[in-house]
Structure 1
Amino acid sequence: MNDRERQRLLDATRRQSGTIGERIPETVTVEGEELPLREFVFECKRLEGVPESERERIEETKRRLQRERLSRKQRIADGDITREEGEALVDEIRGLDRAINALEGLDEPDYGEQLRRKKIRDAEKLLSLIAQRPE
């Protein structure tokens, strides 16, 4: 792989839009251990908020995923791989990025749910006002 191809692959790992449409990998090998990544992320997303009992496990998993991401990016930078291997690493990095983003977003409010609840409250207020109106 030449320097231009290597730089193109490294640039692809930096693009934020690269994770759009990417799926979280079913499993990923992190530091020699196979992690059921998709199951873990969906399990965490089902939680109502992040309980303290799970917070450290989630943070540790994020750190491990970030180290694995850097390791794969370094393999591209070192250049001792083929273009095809580099493309595969970029895809893996994007999947890791998608998982990291999902885990980082766990503490953020669900704006869609908040909007739905607000619409329901507004509709209930409107119905209450209509019911109070003299005929």
Structure 2
Amino acid sequence: MTDAEREALLDRVNSQGATIGASVPDEVEIHGEAVDLSAFIVETRKVDTVPPALDRKVTAARDALRSERERRVERLEAEPIDPETAETLAEEVIGIDRALNALEGIRHPGFADEHHADTLAGHERWLAFVDQVR
């Protein structure tokens, strides 16, 4: 693999739009163990509120995925590898990024929900102030 090919792959995996159209991989190997990532994401997206036990699992999964992403990118950067292996690593990194994006969205409400909650909290503070003044 040439340096130019390596740089092109690294640019691709580090691109903001790399995950557009990418799928979450069915399985990803984390610390030598195959994890059914697609099923885990589907399972966690089903819940409306994230209970503490699931929150710990999501956080652990995110941490493990980040370290696996870093490990694969380091292999792309440093190791002498053939183009096929490099392409496979790049696809795995993009799939991991897609999974991380999906996991990040689990705990965070949408902007409209946040705005609504902030508006309600502001009204409650205002009513509490009015009650104190009376």
TM-score calculated relative to the size of structure 2 = 0.79
Which shows bigger deviation, 74-83 or 93-102? 74-83
Q: Report the AA paired with residue 83 of structure 1.
A: P
Aligned residues: 114
User: For 2:68, what is the secondary structure of its paired residue?
Assistant: helix
Aligned residue in 2 for 1:85: 85
Q: Report the AA paired with residue 24 of structure 2.
A: I
User: For 2:61, what is the secondary structure of its paired residue?
Assistant: helix
Aligned residue in 2 for 1:105: 105
User: For 1:100, what is the secondary structure of its paired residue?
Assistant: helix
5+ residue gaps, structure 1: 115-135
Q: Report the AA paired with residue 99 of structure 1.
A: A
1:16 corresponds to 2:16:
yes
Q: Which runs of 4+ in 1 moved over 2 A?
A: 110-114
Aligned residue in 2 for 1:48: 48
Q: Report the AA paired with residue 61 of structure 1.
A: A
TM-score calculated relative to the size of structure 1 = 0.79
Question: Could you tell me whether the CA contact under 8 Å between 1:69 and 1:96 is conserved in 2?
Answer: yes
Quick one: distance in 2 between partners of 1:13 and 1:63? 18
Quick one: distance in 2 between partners of 1:98 and 1:85? 20
Q: Report the AA paired with residue 3 of structure 1.
A: D
Aligned residue in 1 for 2:71: 71
Q: Report the AA paired with residue 32 of structure 1.
A: G
User: For 1:19, what is the secondary structure of its paired residue?
Assistant: coil
Quick one: distance in 2 between partners of 1:53 and 1:45? 15
User: Offset of 1:51 from its aligned partner?
Assistant: 1.1
Cα deviation digits, residues 6-43 of structure 1 (max 9, x gap):
11111111112110111101111111111000000110
5+ residue gaps, structure 2: 115-134
User: For 1:35, what is the secondary structure of its paired residue?
Assistant: strand
User: Offset of 1:53 from its aligned partner?
Assistant: 1.7
Q: CA RMSD in A?
A: 1.7
State, as a whole percentage, how many aligned pairs show the same letter: 35
Which shows bigger deviation, 46-55 or 61-70? 46-55
Q: Report the AA paired with residue 108 of structure 1.
A: H
